[in-house]
Structure 1
Amino acid sequence: MKRSTALSIIFIGLAGSVLADEPRREDFAYEAPIALSEPGGVYRAPLTAHAYRGVTREDLGDLRVYNKAGEIVPHGISRPGAAPGKKLTELPVFPVPVPAGGVAGDVSMFVATGKGGSVIALKTGAPSRSERWAYIADASQTEDPLAALEISWGEAIPEGRFIGTLVIEVSDDLKNWRTIGQGALASLHRDDQVLVQKRIEIAPQRVKYLRLTWADPQPKVSITGVKAELRPQAEPARDWSALTGGKEEGVGEYRFELHGRMPIDRARIPLPMNSVARVAVLSRDRAGDPWVLRGQKTVFAVQSAERELSDNEIPLWTSSSDRQWLLRLEGRVNGLGSTAPVLELGWIPHELVFVARGSAPFTLAYGHARVAAAGNYGVDELVRRSKRENTERVDIRAATFGTPDAVRGEAARTRPWYAEWRQWLLWAVLVAGVGILALLAVRLSRQIGQSSE
């Protein structure tokens, strides 16, 4: 019995040692030094494109952070990421006459404001036929930063076709105005294709009042509505990867390979001037899987007089880390010209958050085909506390990654032929250990039975 007990202990110890194995820094494919911005205890750094290409697990579980002594320090992955939600709010709009050769502020205005500064009445002198119109939009009741405007208009000529530039000014008192941007609006028709541009982006900022004025030459359209696109927070910076050499899958379809597990949430198509096309973006993880539609949109780049108007960015409905991407040109397949298209994919990087335990320098190691996912160190709790505004707030400092170096290279990213044998051996050890324990239990029960007799 002593021999069986010792053997079972050896089996269980062997299995435990295999399961408890932690990877060493030199076992990974690549490593990158981590530069700390200032003294602190917790740091965050956005993952680089090279890190996404180097890992083998879709959950990014084959990366570790080491200190100078080669010890793994607590770390985790955070998504700041998902782009903040946007809100569309209808703004009250007041037409204001502009004298010939003047600006909207040149006429006398009677303005009555309510609680919080909202405009409840705005009166001007009767406009003459030579006067143009500007439009005052009241955003005083909004609290979040303004990121874009969506403009509605009445009938245009001829047959609803026009292109024009709208100048955007802001003010806090309806007297002193400053220009913050301008954008092109358009409604164009050609054969069976329609191009409508109603949105103007600006740098996110809080505003109280807006004044919208047509630049010369002014189109003969009247603005009937203004919606404010509000962003609760600034959108994190997005990285991009340009995919070229797309392989034709069918008429008007081009397949691209993405190297890396980036969380793609945006697509962009560089366009030659005077191009317009309806496109769809699809993805799948591997050949043979069905294609999944991720987004579709009419993209264009047109020139009118001295102005250029373009919109070639496609927000995806959901983010995806698939490897294969398909660009499908709908309708007229020559809408992008004769050259093969380029597909640019964008993503907001995950952030690596780690605790600076031990001595610097700290190093990120990644790319290991045989490593299990890192354990849960509870770093997500530190991220939650970093958003508090009280004494329990955890300050997370900024860090950056240096130039990556190859350690074992691609050899660490491939699974060797004997890897499966090791798993089978581990299972055999575990099963044998359970069998020995069961045998010991049977013998022990017999001995107890004999003793009781």
Structure 2
Amino acid sequence: MTIMPQSPTPYLLLMLLSLCSFAPANAANALKPDTPSEYSYALPLQVSGKQGVVAFQLPQAVYLNANTANLDDLRVFDANGVAQPHALHRPQVAQPARRDSLAANVFPIRGGSNSTAGGTSIDVDIRTRPDGSVMSVQAHAGKRQGNSGATNATNATLSSLILDFGAAAIGDDNNPVRIDALRFDAPKGEANYNAEVWLQTSSDLKHWSTIGAAELSWLANDNGQTLASDRLEFSPQAFRYARLIWRRGVPAEFAAIHAETLPRQSSEPVRETLWIKPAAVKAIENRAGDQPAGLIYPAGVALPVEQVSLKLSEPNIVLPVALGYYAERRSRHTGKATEWAFRPITHATFYQITQDGQTRRSGALDIRVEHQPEWVIRPLNPAATARPELGLSWQPATLVFLAGGTPPYTLSFGRADATPTSQPLNQVAPGFTPRELARLEQAQAGVLQTGQGAAAGNSAATQAGLSARQRTYILWGVLILGVIVLGGMAWKLIRQMKAGSDKVN
């Protein structure tokens, strides 16, 4: 009986599959030299040569020409083409150290009586300048207790105070000011004072709203020490004008009155903004037919956009929009392989309205950080014809690198298939405090240069085609090698079978 040898075919197939899996990756890595000539763009960096760790805030040109979302294609090369260790750093925004304070311009109202809940209000003549600041205040008492005509302002008693906190109390759309307390200095010449006051606020000096009340008191002892209750607190409000009336105690003019504004949650980081005009209008197909896809704004995939704005040219316009991007997906319709699908990021209403000689504009809109090669605005009003400019804002990163090797240094970027080499900050500047990092020497950039990588065509499509061809060649090579191996094994197997047959005979 002849025992036939077990066929090694399964093991051979497993070996071939392993070669097919690892060979393309290894070959691709072998074909990726990391030299300055492989990058499309370069910025010469000038340093003093006296510092071992240097910083460089990335300019707009880097974000517009880098080919990776996380800036993986950034390299700092020395004169010999040796990459230097680098880290990307975004300094944390410092918290505000104190609350802001606004001093009030105080205008006393004399004559009449206090505006109590059931009393008669005072007719007040308030004159303002063109910028809205209060110029003068005069009260006219109504017909009360036989008194007619204007009250003598000099001899009349104090009844209330008008407060003007100035234009700084208005703020703007991007930085609104909210006041949550008033702080009082004791009346002049009054070491001991006690009264209950009510606070009314207004934005136009015509309509008033009561928002708070407080017991104000100052009590001094023989040693010159004073116990004071000098604050009037209320829920945060936005206002410029206020009126103070007395509910109990003798009205008096305070030495000073200050408004305390809410501190911001955090100081605004330094941002750069890129303004883009719409490039084209696309159309997508769906069950309803061709629909306008909106306005397309080409950008850069490296931009870490965290705020968006619209610059509207129309004098009076309200534009509700959906902001997002288009992504290619497998088509749901017969006859098409792929289709474009709109992916919204957020919905917002932008506007520009002129009212009473002043223009109101929508501010910047905060969004989660997005990296998109192009942005899309789809007006929610189908009849809208506006073509606004799109503003993309981001916080530039600071490149921190070790100034080793041989200067001068060059920042190279613009390569879609680059692997990340950025290191943690503590491995580039170990032991450096935030204060020391903020005081690092800043490298100076030269003129942007186009590298040899741009001529070679370093786009994602080119790289994908090259990788596909490499995989095809390697696969054919492995298959041919497998055929040769299988042929050799078959020939050996036939010889063994023939030899066994001869022994039987």
TM-score when normalising by structure 2:
0.52
Question: Cα–Cα, structure 1 residues 237 and 332, in superposed 2: closer, same or farther, change >3 Å?
Answer: same
Q: Does 1:239 align with 2:273?
A: yes
Amino acid at match of 1:355: L
Is 1:230 the counterpart of 2:264? The answer is: yes
Give, in whole Å, the separation in 2 of the partners of 1:221 and 1:280: 39
| 2-structure distance, mates of 1:73, 1:213 | 64
Asked if 1:265 is matched to 2:306, the reply is yes
Q: Deviations over 1:135-175 (max 9, x none)?
A: 7xxxxxxxxxxxxxxxxxxxxxxxxxxxxxx6226xxxxxx
Equivalent residue of 1:50, what SS? helix
1:32 is displaced (CA, Å) by 0.9
Matched, 1:30 2:58: no
Instruction: Tell me if the contact between 2:309 and 2:390 (Cα under 8 Å) persists in the aligned partners.
Output: yes
State how far apart, in whole Å, the 2-side matches of 1:418 and 1:248 are.
Answer: 29
Select which of 310, 318, 322 maps to 1:280.
322
1:96-107 equivalent positions in 2, closer than 5 A: 99=109, 100=126
Q: Distance in 2 between matches of 1:360 and 1:198?
A: 44
Which residue of 2 is the match for residue 379 of structure 1?
Answer: 425
CA contact (8 A) 1:34 1:400 kept: yes
| Distance change (3 Å), C-alpha of 1:24 and 1:341 | same
- The structure with the largest alpha-carbon Rg is 2
Amino acid at match of 1:322: Q
For 1:30 and 1:208, how far apart are their aligned partners in 2? 57
Aligned to 1:77: 88
Change (3 A) 1:386 1:292: farther
Deviation at 1:289? 6.0
Identity of counterpart residues, as a percentage? 15
Amino acid at match of 1:278: P
Distance 1:16 1:69 in 2: 26
Q: Which residue of 1 aligns with 2:167?
A: 167
Q: Deviations over 1:39-92 (max 9, x none)?
A: 4221222323332333323332222111122211111323448x7899xx9x9x
Shift in Å, 1:200: 2.2
* Residue of 37, 40, 46 corresponding to 2:57: 46
Correspondence 1:364 to 2:411? yes
Q: Which of the numbers 394, 401, 413 marks the counterpart of 2:458?
A: 413
Does the residue aligned with 1:53 lie in a helix, a strand or coil? helix
Change (3 A) 1:384 1:127: farther
What's the C-alpha RMSD, in Å, of the aligned pairs? Answer: 5.0
> How far apart are the structure 2 equivalents of 1:428 and 1:378?
42
Q: Which amino acid aligns with 1:403?
A: V
Counterpart amino acid of residue 363 in structure 1: T
Q: Distance in 2 between matches of 1:328 and 1:309?
A: 23
The one of 294, 304, 314 aligned to 2:345: 294
Q: Following TM superposition, by how much is the alpha carbon of 1:231 offset from its aligned partner in structure 2, in angstroms?
A: 4.2
* CA offsets 1:336-362 (integer angstroms, 9 cap, x no match): xx4422222222223222111133221
Residue 264 of structure 2 corresponds to residue 220 of structure 1: no
* 1:83-122 pair list within 5 angstroms: 99=109, 100=126
Instruction: Give 1:270 shift.
Output: 0.8
- Distance in 2 between residues matched to 1:200 and 1:394, nearest whole Å: 29
Which residue, 255, 263, 279 being the options, matches 2:296? 255
- Check the 8 A contact 1:386/1:396 in 2, yes or no: no
Using the TM superposition, give the Cα deviation of residue 221 of structure 1 relative to its aligned residue in structure 2, in angstroms: 4.5
Give a deviation string over 1:291-334, Cα, whole Å, max 9, x none.
33323333222223332222242221x11101232213234743
Residue pair 1:246, 1:341 contacting (<8 A) in 2 also: no
The two structures have a TM-score, normalised by structure 1, of 0.58
Match of 1:344 among 374, 377, 391: 391
CA distance in 2, matches of 1:80, 1:345: 20
Count of aligned pairs:
332
